[in-house]
Structure formats: structure tokens, C-alpha cells
Amino acid sequence: MENYYQVLGVTENATKDEIKKAFKEKSKITHPDKGGSEEEFKKINNAYSILSDDEKKRQYDMQRQNPFGNRAGFNPFDIFGDMFARQQRPQRKVKDRVITVKIGVLDCLRSQDKTINYQIDKDCHSCHGSGGERINCEHCGGSGVLTQQVGNSFFSNIIQTQCGHCSGKGFKLKNLCYVCNGVGKEREFKTVTFQIPKDIQDGQFIKLYGQGDFSNGQNGDLLIRVEMEPQEGFERINNDLVYNHYFTSIEDLNKSEIIVNSYNEKMSIKLPKTIDTSSPLRVKGKGIDGGDLFIRTHLRYERS
């Protein structure tokens, strides 16, 4: 068990004023804005929140004297209940940042690099993500969960529910941070370059590990939802490619072939004698991974 008296540098008989004075002096030295350690600063805040509260201090002193926790009678199953509670306590993971990015059909098929700019959330520089002065929730003791033991000394069930008083956070805010207004977050612009997978489809996701939001000393992941868009006249339908070709003059209509620059080759496509714009031309095997190439013909002609 952490010795909070040693953390603040006071004796066990210290008065409230002495504890408060020691906390202020330690805070000035360890505050991250003053070049101190964030971990040490949190430890000092936690020690002060316990020792400055009469009830919490009384429970803490009794627990130090009795490692089994000041119960009316020692129940061996209580130890396993505490272990179970610690194991079942959910670990807070940084949520994935999800964004949608438009990617051209040909850029995808050529597996080109894509550079994007986006925003992430990170811990507020002023309060370091705390949102302000935190006070342990008196209902759950800072765990964020309420534990209830049902049964007798031989058979018991441990039931855990999220603490409704602190919404599972384990703390409440006393003084809100003036920069983030208690949110604990601020926005940051980031730039990242990644290679577009050739086989990516419209609506699928690309996952970039560690490129998402930053919180509690760790980065979340970035999920990029791909929105495929036409490019250079090409569209994609599963493994088929669709190319839109426009005839803009009588000379174009009288040509025997057209040139199509696909993603991997330059093709010469022979035109039939009869041009029917209502029916696309089909070139087998010239799509993606065995798919076909369909050529839609359009007439765009300006009369004099």
C-alpha cells in the first residue's frame, strides 16, 4: 500500500493545515508546467485527496493497520473478490479516430501514396488531460465501478456495475481547466502519408496504427474510410472498370479506334461500324484481376 504520508513528507500526526501546506509546496516543485514529473504530480494529488478528507483518512489509516481492510470479520473470499474486481475492471483504451477520404480509382489501382491532413484530439496542454482538479468519487473510491458481493462465506458471487455518480470515471472535477473548460482535450492538425492498397474497395477501411487521438500517454489508431471517386474518365464496379469516352466531332465518330490509357497499360480499342451510345463496348479481361473493361460512349457535339 502506498504511504501517502511519505509522499507528502509529513508525519502521521500532521494536522490538516500541515498537510495542506506540504501539498502546496510539493505541487510547486512537481507540477509539469514547472518542469516536474506528471506521474509524481498525480501521486501527490492522490495523496492529498485522501489525507485531507477525514473519512477517507480514517479508512486509509485503518487499512494500513489491518491489511484485510477493516471488516467486521475476516472473510477469505473477500480476497478473491478484490482480485476478481481488479481483473474485471475495464481498461480505458483510446478510441479510434475515423475519417473519410476520397481516393481516385486509378490512384488506388496504381497503389500510389496518399497524403492527407486531419485533426486529432490530444490531452490539454494546460491540465494535461485531467480537465481540472480531480476529486476521487466517494461512492466507488476512485475505481469507477460499484462491487456487490451476494451470498455467504462459502459461496458468493461478485456483481460489478458502473458507478452512476461519476459515470465510471472514478473522479469528479472541482475546478474546471480554463483552457479546455473541463473537457481535457484540445485539437491538433496532423499530416500522414500512406500507400493505397490496390485491392481496397469503396467503403472499406485502412487502419494506421498509432496515428489517432492521444490520451493518457498513448495514441489511438486512425481508421480511414475509403470513398472511391471517378478519375480520368474511369469508374470501378467490383472488378470491372468502366471508361467514359466522349465523341466531340464528326471526325471522332469516323475514327476506326480510340486510345484508352488504363491504370497499367495504353490500349487501342477498335470501334464497331455502328456506334450505339445506349450500349457499352466490352473488352474482356482488361479490368481488375480478371474483370472486364466497359466503354461507355457519349456524344458531346456543339452545332454551328
| Every domain of the chain and the residues it spans | 1-74, 97-126+187-229, 234-299
Candidate ranges 131-145, 165-179, 246-260; pick with highest mean pLDDT = 246-260
Contact 94, 223 (CB under 8 A): no
Amino acid at 145: V
What does DSSP say about strands 218-219 and 257-261: parallel, antiparallel, or unpaired?
unpaired
| 3-state SS class at 85 | helix
The whole-angstrom separation of Cα 209 and Cα 126 is 27
The whole-angstrom separation of Cα 95 and Cα 98 is 9
Domain 234-299 has CATH 2.60.260.20: yes
pLDDT (0 to 100) of residue 190: 92
Tell me the pLDDT band of 294, cut-offs 50, 70 and 90. Answer: very high
| 3-state SS class at 28 | helix
User: What's the CATH number for 1-74?
Assistant: 1.10.287.110
Rg (CA), the chain: 33
**Whether this model's pTM surpasses 0.85:** no
> Do the first three CATH levels of 1-74 and 234-299 match, i.e. the same topology?
no
| 3-state SS class at 36 | coil
Contact 224, 276 (CB under 8 A): no
The whole-angstrom separation of Cα 88 and Cα 82 is 10
| 3-state SS class at 14 | coil
Task: Please give the class, per CATH, of domain 97-126+187-229.
Answer: mainly beta
Give the Å distances, CA to CA, from 165 to 85, 100, 143, 161: 19, 36, 12, 12
Across residues 262-280, what is the average pLDDT?
88
Q: What is the pLDDT of residues 120-169, one digit of tens each?
A: 998 888 888 788 888 888 888 888 888 777 666 556 677 888 888 888 88
Q: What is the pLDDT of residues 96-127, one digit of tens each?
A: 899 999 999 998 888 889 999 999 998 888 88
| pLDDT greater than 60 at residue 257 | yes
Q: What is the pLDDT of residues 31-84, one digit of tens each?
A: 666 667 777 877 888 888 888 888 888 888 877 765 544 444 444 444 444 554
Closest to 110 in 3D by CA, of 197, 36, 229, 206:
197
| 3-state SS class at 47 | helix
